Amino acid sequence: MGAEAWFRSLFEPAGIAVNGDRPFDLRVHNPRLYRQVRRLGTLGLGDAYVEGWWDCERVDELFCRLLSSDIQNRAGVFLPQMLGVARARLSNMQSIRRAFHVGKHHYDLGNELFEAMLGPTMAYSCGYWKDAATLDEAEEAKYDLACRKVRLKPGMTVLEIGCGWGGFARYAAERYGVRVVGLTVSAEQARYAEDLCRGLPVEIRLEDYRSFKGGVDAIVSIGMFEHVGVKNYATYFEVARRALKDDGLFLLHTIGSLDSKVSIDPWIGAHIFPNGVLPSLQQIGRATEERFVVEDVHNFGAFYERTLKAWHGNFHAALDAGRLPAKYDDGFRRMWDYYLLSCAGAFRARHLQLYQIALSPQGVRGGYCSVR
């Protein structure tokens, strides 16, 4: 079968036409696309989009349809996937030596970009849209949900593993009267968070989680576990267990995979989150054994599509208004569009999940009351 016929055969079961006229159909501008995807799989497809070899009015719906049609099993395994798995098995891609790489590659892209995209909460993770009408409301609701799930009270000390730009730390300190120690591997995030939390009982550290020493009343980790890596899951929970008081609570907020993997999608790994990997519930469960009691598992991954679409809208509004520097050129725009919209489609298809998991060191006496 020729490359073009093979390519079309992948999309037809998803109801997607090549060069069709529906919003989710794929329009090819460069026929080299077919051979590139046949050789490189998702890496080739994403790179071709960034290069302008193909377009689609609704990239999010295209990915939703593809993933709902089980394309990952129909397409087979490609060389970039095999190399990613081999690297992950042969070495620790998230070692302390490599820990700061994702900070420099992704989170240091520019605070002006993330301010424009994320809005005043500076929350770079799924919002809680249960009763929210706007992105800001959904992100504040997520912050509050986390605070209530670990039962914050005035005077407590909270460790935030992966503090981002300081949004949660500021919220918890202002609304709940707690002291927060926030860890990040991004220099830009650390500078921004220090300014955002100035005057509050918040300490921001440019530090890998494995270096943390000390005892805390509660731990919150929002959107960081995706960077830990399978070989470090046990270490991560061991560090958290040592830091957390026996009567404390730990809230883990992470994107989750439906199956256990050791590496991430090749395109996302190459261009967005190097050395990332999404955990499965099984992997999390194994790593918490003999360390924590799992008190509650809350999956609100269906809300992530709405969050990603809101970020995408904010990003384009800033571009259209000329509020972003020239370095965010057309190539960057296409890369960022592909990232946000393909992920939105994956969450719409329920191919990806968002877990909030409440953990306690010794079990909550009398039982844990789930917060929704």
Residues annotated as catalytic (active site), given as ranges: 343
Q: Cα angle vertex 184, ends 180, 188, to 5°?
A: 115
Q: Judge whether 311 and 340 are in contact, CB under 8 Å.
A: yes
List C-alpha distances in Å: 83 to 36, 71, 107, 148. 17, 20, 25, 42
Q: Which of 189, 175, 248 is nearest to 217 (CA)?
A: 248
Q: Judge whether 179 and 158 are in contact, CB under 8 Å.
A: yes
Question: Using CA atoms, how far apart are residues 209 and 229, in angstroms rounded to an integer?
Answer: 13
Kind plus residue range of the DSSP H or E element containing 3:
helix 3-11
DSSP 77-90: --HHHHHHHHHHHH
Question: Using CA atoms, how far apart are residues 86 and 54, in angstroms rounded to an integer?
Answer: 30
**Residue labelled with tokens 């060191």:** 361
